[in-house]
């Protein structure tokens, strides 16, 4: 597969990691609590049955330049169980009632196109034989009766694939909130990530993870949410199992510069722990969208080689900093012996700068990263799929709150657990 190559932006090249060049006036414990003030909306998206004209065609009527994507967003429960010496991660996936909708235009773009809101999009035809970029414009996400939601913008990538010998067009995408309304008003630090399948006749089917920083506390709750109401129709992705994991760094975890042969800074080496996580979100008309997060035990480690310059210009809503990373996730058994590992090659990423607490000068970043999963060892041998990373990170001290959603091709149910079996 091919992916866009991003050239490093002109900037000063630091010779040391952020941890070595800065100090913090805040304790790691306090900053961890602050980066954890995120509201997560884990949703499953299917094409809206009301949309009949999906493909946007060129003047000749043959070339497909983009798609009118009209999504029905449903509650999505992913309960993930840790791996063992005999089994990989397994999860129950429950798709529930409709919680909202998302409408936008996804237009294909050249690999070297600088995608920005309001810029003219050069007509580009879909080529399903290779990986392509696309831009998501005119995006409006609405929850419930439509009073709460946001307008957003983003970009994505296609990945031609075959399942059961059938050609498929897989996608990942990263978006950011530009204007919130209702309960999302003022939640400007909001990232959303997609992974799933694109059908030029119907639209998108797959995972949407929205993460909004919520220091106001009006999107999060500690109350129990109403029980999910499973859909009665057939499962939209019967050969797919979704897993969910969390990344959380400790101040002692590695943050080190990556240097090229001339000694120039080209990125970072970063480590963090991998823990279990469960999130739930629902919409109730009186209280609006609400999110609940439950954290579980430490189960593994993530080691990342990141191509990224934290001092590069940009990092705004209109000018995010691109990055790529190779994430190696490894998991030991209770005896300490390795049970397996896999690689998430996040070939598309966007970084947005922020301060936590706001106005404090304490630097942080939020970002989305997406790409394929492969190179499994041990119980993960043969793993195939996609992963999204929705994160907020500080380097000084090193704290983070990351949510990873994995879409695993699972025709034989190796990664699928039966409800109530664990």
Taking the C-alpha atoms of residue 352 and residue 364, their distance in angstroms, rounded to an integer, is 9
Q: What is the rounded average pLDDT of the residues 149-171?
A: 90
Q: 76 with 43: CB under 8 angstroms?
A: yes
Predicted pLDDT at 335: 73
Which residue, 101, 99, 81, 42, is CA-closest to 280? Answer: 42
On the 0-12 / 13-18 / 19+ scale of CB atoms within 10 A, 165 is: exposed
pLDDT in tens, 267-299: 899 999 999 999 999 987 778 999 999 999 999
Q: What is the rounded average pLDDT of the residues 400-410?
A: 97
Predicted pLDDT at 11: 33
On the 0-12 / 13-18 / 19+ scale of CB atoms within 10 A, 420 is: exposed
Q: 203 with 67: CB under 8 angstroms?
A: yes
Which residue, 363, 369, 358, is CA-closest to 403? Answer: 369
Average pLDDT, the chain: 90
Q: What is the rounded average pLDDT of the residues 162-167?
A: 72
Predicted pLDDT at 162: 76
User: How many other C-beta atoms can be found within 10 angstroms of the C-beta atom of residue 215?
Assistant: 15
Q: What is the rounded average pLDDT of the residues 2-31?
A: 50
Residue 12 has pLDDT above 80, yes or no: no
Q: Among 5-14, 26-35, 133-142, 277-286, whose mean pLDDT is lowest?
A: 5-14
Residue 97 has pLDDT above 90, yes or no: yes
The residues with which 389 forms a beta bridge, in sequence order, are 369, 404
How wide is the angle at C-alpha 357 spanned by C-alphas 354 and 286, nearest 5°?
Answer: 95
Predicted pLDDT at 234: 83
Predicted pLDDT at 9: 32
Taking the C-alpha atoms of residue 300 and residue 294, their distance in angstroms, rounded to an integer, is 18
pLDDT in tens, 31-80: 999 999 999 999 999 998 766 689 999 988 889 999 999 999 999 999 99
Taking the C-alpha atoms of residue 296 and residue 180, their distance in angstroms, rounded to an integer, is 31
- Of 136 and 2, the structure prediction assigns the larger pLDDT to 136
User: How many other C-beta atoms can be found within 10 angstroms of the C-beta atom of residue 25?
Assistant: 8
Residue 15 has pLDDT above 90, yes or no: no
Q: What is the rounded average pLDDT of the residues 201-208?
A: 95
Q: What is the pTM of this model?
A: 0.92
């Amino acid at each position: 597969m091919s992916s866009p190559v991003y050239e490093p932006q002109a900037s000063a090249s630091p010779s040391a990691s952020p941890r070595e060049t800065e100090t913090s006036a805040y304790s790691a414990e306090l900053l961890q609590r602050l980066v954890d003030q995120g509201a997560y909306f884990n949703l499953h998206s299917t094409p809206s049955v009301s949309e009949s004209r999906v493909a946007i065609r060129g003047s000749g009527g043959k070339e497909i330049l983009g798609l009118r994507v009209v999504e029905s967003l449903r509650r999505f429960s992913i309960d993930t169980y840790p791996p063992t010496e005999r089994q990989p991660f397994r999860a129950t996936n429950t798709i529930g009632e409709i919680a909202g909708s998302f409408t936008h235009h996804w237009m294909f773009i050249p690999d070297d196109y600088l995608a920005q809101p309001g810029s003219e999009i050069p007509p580009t035809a879909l080529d399903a034989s290779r990986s392509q970029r696309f831009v998501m414009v005119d995006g409006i996400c609405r929850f419930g009766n439509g009073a709460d939601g946001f307008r957003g913008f983003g970009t994505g990538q296609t990945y031609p694939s075959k399942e059961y010998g059938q050609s498929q067009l897989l996608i990942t995408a990263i978006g950011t909130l530009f204007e919130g309304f209702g309960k999302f008003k003022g939640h400007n630090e909001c990232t959303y990530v997609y992974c799933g399948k694109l059908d030029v006749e119907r639209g998108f089917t797959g995972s949407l993870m929205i993460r909004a920083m919520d220091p106001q506390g009006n999107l999060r709750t500690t109350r129990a949410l109403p029980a999910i109401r499973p859909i009665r129709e057939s499962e939209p992705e019967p050969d797919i199992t979704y897993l969910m994991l969390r990344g959380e760094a400790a101040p002692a975890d590695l943050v080190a510069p990556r240097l090229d042969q001339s000694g120039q800074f080209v990125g970072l080496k970063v480590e963090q722990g991998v823990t279990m996580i469960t999130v739930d979100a629902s919409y109730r008309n009186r209280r609006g969208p609400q999110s609940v997060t439950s954290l579980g035990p430490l189960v593994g480690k993530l080691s990342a080689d990141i191509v990224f310059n934290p001092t590069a210009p940009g990092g705004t809503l209109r000018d995010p900093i691109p990055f790529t990373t190779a994430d190696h996730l490894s998991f030991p058994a209770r005896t300490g012996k390795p049970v397996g590992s896999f690689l998430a090659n996040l070939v598309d990423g966007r970084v947005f700068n922020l301060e936590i607490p706001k106005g404090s000068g304490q630097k942080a970043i939020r970002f989305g990263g997406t790409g394929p999963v492969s190179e499994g060892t041990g119980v993960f041998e043969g793993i195939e799929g996609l992963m999204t990373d929705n994160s907020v990170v500080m380097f000084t001290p090193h704290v983070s709150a990351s949510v990873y959603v994995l879409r695993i091709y699972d025709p034989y149910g190796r990664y699928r657990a039966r409800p109530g079996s664990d």
